[in-house]
Amino acid sequence: MKRLTRAAALGAAAGTAASLAFAAPASADPDDDAFLAALNRADIPYANNNADLTAQLGERVCPMLVEPGKNFAQVATTVADNGINPGLAAFFTGIAINMYCPQMMGSIGNGTFLNMMQDDQGLSGLIRAPGLNGLPR
């Protein structure tokens, strides 16, 4: 009986180790998980078949949009240059904006993005860009 218990314990330990070895890695960021799931639903392949790299690229979209002189098309081109199919780069960029900085969605389309920044309603922690005070509303 003692031998059966030891064998059962060893079998359970081996099964647990095997399940941990083949389990999908847990992401540290639920936003990244949601972003990757949205890309999967849209049939947009990962950059270089790498989920981590793709999530990092998605996270970079919003900061790129606030760089001086950048617009949606330039950001989508940067996305395409970093491993996303050029025909899907605009979709990828839109999904990234929707997931990581949804407050930007309407302002990018209607041209009021800089006004949003001027009013300090942009990304949290974003410092007001110099020289925007004189922009018309």
> Over the stretch 60-76, which tens digit does the pLDDT of each residue have?
999 999 899 888 999 99
Whether residue 32 is predicted with pLDDT greater than 50 in this model: the reply is: yes
Encoded tokens for 53: 């790299």
Alpha carbon distance 106, 84 (integer Å): 24
pLDDT tens-digit map of 82-123: 999 999 999 999 999 999 999 887 766 655 544 444 444 344
Q: What is the pLDDT of residue 110?
A: 59
Q: With a cut of 70, say whether residue 51 has pLDDT above it.
A: yes
Q: Is 63 exposed, middle or buried (0-12, 13-18, 19+ CB in 10 A)?
A: middle
Q: Give pLDDT, residue 87.
A: 95
Q: State residue 98's pLDDT score.
A: 93
